[in-house]
Homo-oligomer: A and B are copies of this chain.
Amino acid sequence: MTVTPQKKAVVLLSGGLDSATCAALARQEDYALYALTILYGQRHRIEIEAARRVAAAFDAVDQAVIEIDLRRFGGSALTADIAVPKGRADDVMSTEIPLTYVPARNTIFLSYALAWAEVLGTGDIFIGVNALDYSGYPDCRPEFIEAFERMANLATKTGVEGTAPIRIHTPLLHLTKAQIIRRGLEAGVDYGITHSCYDPTPEGLACGECDSCRLRLKGFAEAGIEDPAPYVPGRRDHS
């Protein structure tokens, strides 16, 4: 009996709902996971504990936790000293680039993933971006992902030598939040160990009011399921 060497994938894993689902789907496709968790001077370091729990739940072969300092550049409520917006109107939330936008965030994240993938000798990178129920960030759009993939194949040894073409996998790209949650539950995600809030309490309770919480709660409501993550009392049903 021969054993096929397992395919390796670098999976960007923040510990949030989307990246946990993305990791589960990569695992379902039988990839060995190399979880890449990037700290970027954000306030919600509680996410990192969530990322470690999710990596363990899906048998990640390795997890790299990388700290990058985007605070030096400023310009975002997630990295600079600007208040996280709460209770934005749904129509504004779907069309306007919000203050929580971090300049070039996914470009930087994918660039690190690319570096690790090349060292591992694989071209497979998973990222849980989503172009439907999202916060209006330009670097979550399909045309950005396609352009990054094209660039990545020109940036690397594997692009020049053709040994392991870079593929940016985005299994959540065209799903609604409710579809992501259902897909994740089928793939064995325990959403109780994930964390999405931009502005949690020091104890790690989700605020229920930031864009990220509201998109998440709306998704669970549409899926007809109660979110098992811990919220500030009375905020789980806020919408």
A interface residue count range (under 10 / 10 to 19 / 20 to 34 / 35 or more): 35 or more
Query: CA A118 – CA B74 in complex, angstroms?
Result: 10
Q: Which residues of B contact A139 (CB under 8 A)?
A: 154-156
Give min CB distance, A167 to chain B, whole Å: 15
At the interface with chain B, which of A1-9, A22-30, A62-70?
A62-70
A31 within 8 A of B: no
Query: CA A97 – CA B118 in complex, angstroms?
Result: 13
Give min CB distance, A36 to chain B, whole Å: 9
Query: CA A20 – CA B155 in complex, angstroms?
Result: 23
A239 within 8 A of B: no
CB-defined A-B contacts under 8 Å, sample of 28: A70-B115, A72-B116, A73-B115, A97-B160, A101-B157, A103-B114, A103-B115, A103-B116, A103-B118, A103-B157, A104-B155, A107-B111, A107-B115, A107-B152, A108-B112, A138-B154, A138-B156, A138-B159, A139-B154, A139-B156, A143-B154, A144-B151, A147-B147, A147-B151, A147-B154, A148-B151, A150-B150, A150-B151
Of all chain B residues, the one with the shortest Cβ separation from A101 is B157
**Do A155 and B144 touch across chains, with their CB atoms under 8 A apart?**
yes
Please encode chain A, from 105 to 134, with 1 for each CB lying within 8 Å of some chain B CB and 0 for all others. 111100110111011000000000000000
**Do B138 and A144 touch across chains, with their CB atoms under 8 A apart?**
no
Given known A66-B69, A103-B118, A115-B104, contact A154–B144 (CB-CB < 8 A): yes
Give min CB distance, A66 to chain B, whole Å: 6
